[in-house]
Structure 1
Amino acid sequence: MRSNQIKKGAKGAPVRSLFYGMGYTKEEIDRPLIGIVNAQNEIIAGHMHLDQIAKAAKMGVAMAGGTPIEFPAIGICDGIAMGHDGMKYPLASRELIADSIEAMAIGHGFDGLVLIPNCDKIVPGMLMAAARLNIPAIVVSGGPMRAGEHNGKALDFSSVIEGVGAFKDNKMTEEELEELARKSCPGCGSCSGLFTANSMNCLTEALGMGLPYNGTAMSHSGERIQLAKYAGMKVMECVKNDIKPLDILTIDAFKNAITVDMAMAGSSNTVLHLPAIAHEAGISLPLELFDEISQVTPYLTKLSPSGKHHMEDLHRAGGIPALMKELTKKGLLNLDVMTVTGKTVGENLKDKKVLDTDIIHPIKNPYRNKGGLAILRGNLAVDGAVVKESAVADEMLVHIGPAKVFDSEEAAVSAIFNGKIVKGDVVVIRYEGPKGGPGMREMLSPTSAIAGMGLDKDVALITDGRFSGATRGAAIGHVSPEAMEGGLIGLIEDGDIIHIDIPNKKLEVKLSEEEIQKRKNCFVKPEPKVKKGYLARYAKLVTSASTGAVLK
């Protein structure tokens, strides 16, 4: 055991004295020490209840002969941070989470970890730490919240954001908007659609780092508590059998996860997080790989924001195991990959099946024959850009229109709400990338404003920032190189004609090479938006969105 180096023998006596002072018994000290990394706080709806998950996981560890020792991790709610300077921090916090877990785990010689996240950046941050540390670890999330309901219609967090746009466009009263706010999030859990948090919790399962149904078992359910207890037991098996994250996080595991991502049309943010996790495992995931897998992966389940179903529906239909089982019918998954269950993917899926074909379509009858995300390239995105193709209206798959250029999210939102954006426009929001933001803010406010005002089938939006998993419409993000790195998006002017061709993976601005060179010669790099503190350091170290926005 790793912990023996700090607690055994004469040299371990000082350490044992500290444990005795905390009330640990000799028997507890002698057992494997398992860190319970709990991201519980009282500001994230998905994390409010994680103390219950941690309690159950600790029981599981103790039942299996280990000593659970809880410590915290930070977490930022994207929904609360959105639309102001606070949104610069969530992506940057991913690195803080990974770094702090590394410091705690190595500093205290833990033998294994149970990682308890639930929301957007906390899940990948913990997976990055697991890969970096490579000690036995398992992830158990807090589970998704149920969908809200009003007048017989299912609601979720994005319903309220789009309601703001409808209110600003005089299509909804203030009282109706408040009613939406009251009913859209009926309890704790990760927001009920297939947004970033639930996408990453599902992909944790597909990667093999979480138990089956980690992504879909409901928050505040007996099933979720049982899952946490089993996670505690399973990490002890991983310690005993020396199963480590890098035994699981192989290139084939990442290909499996990307395949599942495409089959369910997960959040576009997964194209940031999977490469970052892979980077910690010493694996490169180029954007081309996402495109290659998307081309051969059928789109099988249409969840909000792309469709009407929610996480509870997916769980009722058999969850991620059922979805993966369906994908095996075309040989799209590697079934020999090891998982934290101690079994292979194939063994885990042996008896699984789809329980509702309206929610998870048969592979012979997909929503469409290719996946939900697309990677675009062209002179406007030499290193790539990302769009959730499944959430784009057919009318907007190909679009040519004039640019309306803004150097911040706030300026764009103000223009949208003040009626300055008209049908046919291409809204360009720049200096919101990893360096330029800094922190690559999510753009749910402008996309939802466009949707709420009924323009999502007429207006496109392009940014070097990123989009919420709740976004729908022709919203193209992660444009690389970003404006702050000299990308062409920083040289666009109002009225420039932009050509979007999603089926053919093209993103271009109609400018001659002579005009582009002329603008480059006149370009003056702006001053950084943040000049002190953590974000200033982050901006100096962060890489492009095309490489997962990892730190150098």
Structure 2
Amino acid sequence: MTFKPAQWPRRLRSQEWYGGISRDVIYHRSWLKNQGYPDDLFDGRPIIGILNTFSELSPCNGIHMKDLAEKIKAGIWEAGGFPVEVPVFSASENTFRPSAMMFRNLAALSIEETIRGQPMDGAVLMVGCDKTTPSLMMAAASCDIPSIVVTGGPMLNGYYRGERVGSGTHLWKFSEAVKAGEMTQEEFLEAEVSMSRSTGTCNTMGTASTMASMAEALGMALSGNAAIPAVDSRRRVIAQHSGRRIVQMVKDDMKPSDILTKDAFMNAIRTNAAIGGSTNAVIHLLALAGRVGIDLTLEDWDRWGRDVPTIVNLMPSGKYLMEEFFYAGGLPVVLKRLGEGGMLARDTLTVSGKTIWEEVRGAVNHNDDVILPTDKALTQSGGIVVVTGNLAPKGAVLKPSAATPALLQHRGRAVVFEDIDDYKARIEDPDLDIDETCVMVLKNCGPKGYPGMAEVGNMGLPPKILRKGVTDMIRISDARMSGTAYGTVVLHTSPEAAAGGPLAVVRNGDMIELDVANRRLHLDVSDAELATRLAGWTPLPGQPESGYAWLHQAHVQGADTGADLDFLIGCRGNAVGKESH
């Protein structure tokens, strides 16, 4: 891709606030000077907003984010910019209720208006937990000012009694082991302290690491950004380089719309397949594409990812963690492998000003057991599978690299849970009418239904099944699944149950067929019977009547298009608002 830098010098956006001698300009400028800034900082140098999602209640975006912000500032000062750190909405999956996903769009809206309403010429997007990465990119895309992503980085490996422990992944594993009688509660509590032994995001290829990889594959972050551990000194170095780079991006007027092309999204989708990335990336990239006017669909996800081998041997699909991925060479090695195999659009632009191929063609793989040769891939056909049928007319997704191969073609009896409370109330009942051949179905956990589409799709199996030594069953829902989780789990079923989709009328005893090879998810009832059931369906009672919950329920779209709020789709630009003084 050829990018033509803008003419420099030119009048910057921030000069609408600080340039000149009018009363209104003096009002803005004099107040900012109360922090001790000298006159010449307002002479037309780029003002860079460092949008920091640090929060002590958002552990993935922990105290290390403060240190990274200082390094970013240093880089901005060095390049002749004027850095200003701005705290922004931080939605954390591990603390927010009912679900951080419910607040992704609120965060994007809040941060978009933070950018638009304040004198920023460019933005450094400091992200960590999985919802902060898409929300800040969505906000920047809707404003379309020069922006660069800096992630906080993954935490160090965990170890328990000599076993490598992956954050999230081993939470599910150990929890199931306790229910199966293979691990005591005391041992589980002992293992807890090994799960998160340093600051940073999940150390598995969960959603946080997946979205960091998506930002890099899209070209929105400097090459190598995704995998550097949070506590590694090289994380600080790339932060400082990013600070330097954003100043030049402002001078060149290099915006998200220049980077986030259809080919860039194709690169990201294929990268997600190669790394065994989270199903959550589907929703986030669909929403991001909507903000820049790119027509991205579930069919694109299935088509572009279908023949890509999963070569990154990381939990939950494999055995290693992000620390080893970084030491092996990180995402540049994966992108180079895709490029050599004809699966990368090589000329897409990155925030460095170079093409993605220029950035990665010299990458070296330092560990063939972490980043596998193609002929030893975890699965030769990775990616995110999209299945459709009368149970999911608008599609549902499944991650083959985390599934049990024998279950990818299966027909079984439905055991239905009307919502997550119904599931919790009944799942441990020894009289529950279920065996390992059944299909577990969970309703009313989608964008409208939970509300907010929580990560409950990877329902734990009944203890009586676990005690047989069975560790996987087909599970179908309109919910999401943590990127750290695993299993033969069909997710994001659309339309969702709370919107009157066919999932809402599945009954205990119905037969359901999953055929991944043929991309089919079928409820074995006649068309007439299904129509009769849907005609008798009524919405859930007790819907919110005010506040953000009401706004979300009224305007959230389906998972098949990214679950964004309908009035936030598109780029609204960064025009300076009218002066009020």
TM range (shorter): over 0.9
2:114 pairs with 1:101: no
Alignment of 1:82-481 (within 5 A): 86-88=97-99, 90-157=100-167, 158-419=169-430, 420=432, 421-443=434-456, 446-447=459-460, 457-481=471-495
Q: Secondary structure at the match of 2:513?
A: strand
What is the CA–CA distance in structure 1 between the aligned matches of 2:165 and 2:306, rounded to whole Å? 31
| Unmatched 5+ stretches in structure 2 | 1-11, 567-581
Asked if 1 retains the 8 angstrom alpha-carbon contact of 2:154 and 2:209, the reply is yes
Q: Contact conserved, 2:478 with 2:491, CA < 8 A, in 1? A: yes
SS where residue 258 of structure 1 aligns? helix
Task: Indicate the residue corresponding to 1:25 in structure 2.
Answer: 38
Q: Tell me how far 1:528 sits from its aligned partner.
A: 4.6
Shift of 1:445: 6.5
Residues paired across the two proteins, number:
547
Structure 1: where are the runs of 5+ without partners? none
Deviation at 1:162, TM superposition (A): 2.9
Identity of aligned residues (%): 35
Residues 493-530 of structure 1 show CA distances to partners (whole Å, capped at 9, x for unaligned) of 11111111122211111101121122123222222543
Tell me the secondary structure at the aligned position of residue 410 of structure 2: strand
For residues 407 and 336 of structure 2, what CA distance do their matches in structure 1 show? 33
1:185-242 deviation digits (Å, cap 9, x = unpaired): 1111111100111100011000000111211001111000101101101101101111
**Cα 1:445–1:458 shift into 2, 3 Å:** closer
Native 8 Å contact 1:164 1:177 kept in 2: yes
Q: Report how far residue 449 of structure 1 moved.
A: 7.2
Residues 396 and 491 in structure 2, CA contact (< 8 A), matched pair in contact too: yes
Tell me the equivalent position of 1:74: 89
- Structure 2 CA distance, aligned partners of 1:220 and 1:452? 38
Q: Given that residues 392 and 474 in structure 1 are in contact (C-alpha distance below 8 angstroms), is that contact kept between their aligned partners in structure 2?
A: yes
Partner Cα distance (1:346, 1:459) in 2: 41
2:76 maps to 61
Where 2:209 maps in the other structure, the secondary structure is helix
Q: Distance in 2 between matches of 1:273 and 1:261?
A: 12
Letter in 1 for 2:127: P
Deviation at 1:454, TM superposition (A): 7.1
* C-alpha distance in structure 1 between counterparts of 2:219 and 2:472, whole Å: 41
Call closer, same or farther: CA 1:458–1:232 in 2, change over 3 Å.
Answer: closer
What TM-score, normalized by structure 1, do the two folds share? Answer: 0.96
Q: Deviations over 1:313-352 (max 9, x none)?
A: 1111111100010111111111111111111111111311
Q: Distance in 2 between matches of 1:422 and 1:440?
A: 27
Offset from partner CA, 1:470-498 (integer Å, 9 cap, x none): 12111111000111221110011111111
CA distance in 2, matches of 1:367, 1:389: 10
Larger mean Cα displacement after TM superposition, 256-265 or 440-449:
440-449
* Cα contact 1:35–1:69 (8 A) shared by 2: yes
Equivalent residue for 1:15? Answer: 28
Cα distance, 1:457 vs structure 2? 4.6
Name the aligned partner's letter for residue 562 of structure 2. Answer: G
Q: Distance in 2 between matches of 1:58 and 1:50?
A: 12
One-letter code of the match for 1:70? E
Aligned to 2:569: none
For residues 281 and 154 of structure 1, what CA distance do their matches in structure 2 show? 40
Letter paired with 2:459: P
Inter-partner Cα distance in structure 1 for 2:175 and 2:471: 18
Please say if residues 34 and 67 of structure 1, whose CA atoms lie closer than 8 Å, have aligned partners that are also in contact: yes
C-alpha separation in 2, matches of 1:532 and 1:477: 29
8 Å CA contact 1:444–1:471 kept in 2: the answer is no
RMSD: 1.8
Q: For residue 353 of structure 1, report the CA deviation from its aligned partner.
A: 2.3
> Which whole-Å CA distance do the structure 1 matches of 2:543 and 2:324 have between them?
43
2:505 to 491, 502, 506: 491
| 1:410 positional shift | 2.8
2 CA distance for matches of 1:191 and 1:415?
31
TM-score, reference length from structure 2: 0.91
Residue of structure 2 equivalent to 1:50: 65
Q: 2-side partners of 1:538 and 1:244: how far apart?
A: 29
Shift of 1:360: 1.2
Contact (CA 8 Å) 1:431, 1:482: kept in 2 or not? yes
Deviation at 1:424, TM superposition (A): 1.5
Cα distance between partner residues in 2 of 1:256 and 1:449: 39
CA contact (8 A) 1:354 1:360 kept: yes
Contact kept? 1:209, 1:339, Cα under 8 Å: yes
Give the AA of the match of 2:357: G
Match of 2:546 among 512, 515, 532: 532
Distance 1:486 1:445 in 2: 22
**Structure 1 range deviating more: 458-467 or 136-145:** 458-467
For 1:539 and 1:383, how far apart are their aligned partners in 2? 19
Q: Residues 127-186 of structure 1, C-alpha deviation per residue, up to 9 Å, x if partnerless?
A: 101111111110101000112101211112221233223223332212101011111111
- Aligned-pair CA distance for 1:400: 1.4
Distance 2:469 2:152 in 1: 35
Contact 1:159/1:180 (<8 A) preserved: no
Q: Does 1:482 align with 2:493?
A: no
